[in-house]
Amino acid sequence: MKTTILSVDKTVDNNEVYQQAVDILKNGGVVSFPTETVYGLGAIATNEQAVQEIFKAKGRPSDNPLIVHIGETQDVLKFASIVPPAAKKLMDAFWPGPITLILNKKPNVIAPSVTPGVETVGIRMPSHPVALQLLRKLGEPLAAPSANRSGKPSPTEAFHVFNDLEGRIPLIVDGGSTEVGIESTVIDMTVEPPIILRPGSITKEMIENVIGSVQLTSNESKSEAPRSPGMKYIHYAPNAPVLLIERDRNTIQKAVQSLQEKGEKVAVVGPDELHIQEADWYYNIGASYENMATHLYKVLREIDQSDATIILAVETDEVGIGTAYMNRLRKASDDKRYFSSTISENE
Ligand code: TXA
Ligand code: MG
């Protein structure tokens, strides 16, 4: 299968591109499109065969549910049996935008593979103008996970999608770099208090300002059955191992030196002002938490192109989007930290 990339200018009405995407989707195919968070790989959410194409293209385990993307607020009632008042408040405050609400699903509407084994459905209305245009021209909701191969970081550029899925999907709609850079906040609204299953750029603090107290799930409690089925899968693993390290220049310099003495080629990922000269590569990831989140996946993919044998990733405080940033770093590192004592053990 040939994979075509077609660019759409955000400000121009680019009818032909949208029409091609709509035709493929109506014929049961899949199309990659940009959202404000990351690129998605969409299929019509009521077409079971089309949805199965998504799992095939990604190599994704088929028991992990997909998020349904809608173009109009009232579409939520096509798939959700009930919208609790607190969910309505979040929709009013943050849609269109990067937050997914888990709601009880209506029986027998959605394609079974979208929500395998669960009585709920995750729904969001993206704010990216290209995603919204596509959904509105199509007139049907799209089931869409991130458009990466399973186990790769989510794509924030059209060429990331191309690198992962070339030959496996017919069309990528290119709308430039995505703004947020990490996936949407996922919040379970079927429980009281609601639980944030995946932190994102709509933060706990922002949500609590609208509906009061909510809980943040701990991904790290591995003994517990995962609430969000996606949590049990390994995500975002770069080729070289990632170790978290505290934000302290002296500690990082010593770590770099010690690792290099052992023959490692060390890439450091951290904020601009820390720039560690001694590292084989220093990846500036931005100054604010927003910037760091925006650039994280792009940088992890860049490091995969280098010869780095180990990646040191500098930790941030867990406030605001810092929580989401650290959540993704933990997944990438499988929660491993650098300890100088561990390293010096064998010396
Ligand atoms: O920003 C995003 O959310 C992107 C863009 C494309 O919209 N999509 C995305 O989809 O990240 P995906 O499939 O890569 O991640 C969806 C996450 C998974 O961890 C999945 O387990 C969880 O949401 N999820 C989906 N439906 C769920 C449900 N009914 N109950 C619990 N978790 C659910
Ligand atoms: Mg994903």
- Report CA(121)–ligand 1 centroid distance (Å): 10
- How confident is the model over 69-109, as pLDDT tens digits? 999 999 999 999 999 999 999 999 999 999 999 999 999 99
Mean pLDDT of 234-258: 90
Residue 158 contacts residue 34 (beta carbons within 8 Å): yes
Lookup result for tokens 């010593």 = 254
The verdict on the CB of residue 36 being under 6 Å from ligand 1 is no
pLDDT at 221 over 70: no
Other C-beta atoms lying within 10 Å of the C-beta of residue 116: 15
How much of the chain exceeds pLDDT 90, in percent? Answer: 85
**Average pLDDT along the chain:** 92
Q: How far is CA 172 from the centre of its chain?
A: 17
- Report CA(20)–ligand 1 centroid distance (Å): 26
pLDDT at 223 over 70: no
Residue 68 contacts residue 143 (beta carbons within 8 Å): yes
287's tokens: 């100054």
Give the integer Cα–Cα distance in Å for 79 and 115.
Answer: 11
302's tokens: 């860049």
- How confident is the model over 296-334, as pLDDT tens digits? 999 999 999 999 999 999 999 999 999 999 999 999 999
The verdict on the CB of residue 38 being under 6 Å from ligand 1 is yes
- How confident is the model over 153-195, as pLDDT tens digits? 999 999 999 999 999 999 999 999 999 999 999 999 999 999 9
125's tokens: 């209305």
pLDDT of residue 347: 40
The verdict on the CB of residue 230 being under 6 Å from ligand 1 is yes
Closest by CA to 189, choosing from 149, 137, 227, is 227
Give the integer Cα–Cα distance in Å for 69 and 260.
Answer: 46
pLDDT of residue 228: 54
The verdict on the CB of residue 200 being under 6 Å from ligand 1 is no
- Report CA(56)–ligand 2 centroid distance (Å): 14
The 3 state secondary structure assigned to the chain is: CCCEEEECCCCCCCHHHHHHHHHHHHCCCCEEEECCCCEEEEEECCCHHHHHHHHHHHCCCCCCCCEEECCCHHHHHHHECCCCHHHHHHHHHHCCCCEEEEEEECCCCCCHHHCCCCCEEEEECCCCHHHHHHHHHHCCCEECCECCCCCCCCCCCHHHHHHHHCCCCCEEEECCCCCCCCCCEEEECCCCCCEEEECCCCCHHHHHHHHCCCEECCCCCCCCCCCCHHHHCCCCCCCCCEEEECCCHHHHHHHHHHHHHCCCCEEEEECHHHCCCCCCEEEECCCCHHHHHHHHHHHHHHHHHCCCCEEEEECCCCCCCHHHHHHHHHHHHCCCECCHHHHHCCC
Give the integer Cα–Cα distance in Å for 189 and 43.
Answer: 25
Of the two residues 59 and 101, the one the predictor is more confident about is 101
Give the integer Cα–Cα distance in Å for 155 and 298.
Answer: 8
88's tokens: 């309505």
- Report CA(72)–ligand 1 centroid distance (Å): 19
Burial of 190 (0-12, 13-18, 19+ CB in 10 A): middle
- Name the β-bridge partners of 245: 314
31's tokens: 């199309």
Kindly identify the ligand whose nearest atom is closest to the C-alpha of 191.
1
Q: Which of 3-17, 278-292, 316-330 has the lowest mean pLDDT?
A: 3-17
pTM of the model: 0.93
Taking each helix axis from N to C end, the angle separating 322-333 and 289-305, rounded to the nearest 10 degrees, works out to 20
pLDDT of residue 61: 80
How much of the chain exceeds pLDDT 70, in percent? Answer: 92
pLDDT of residue 317: 94
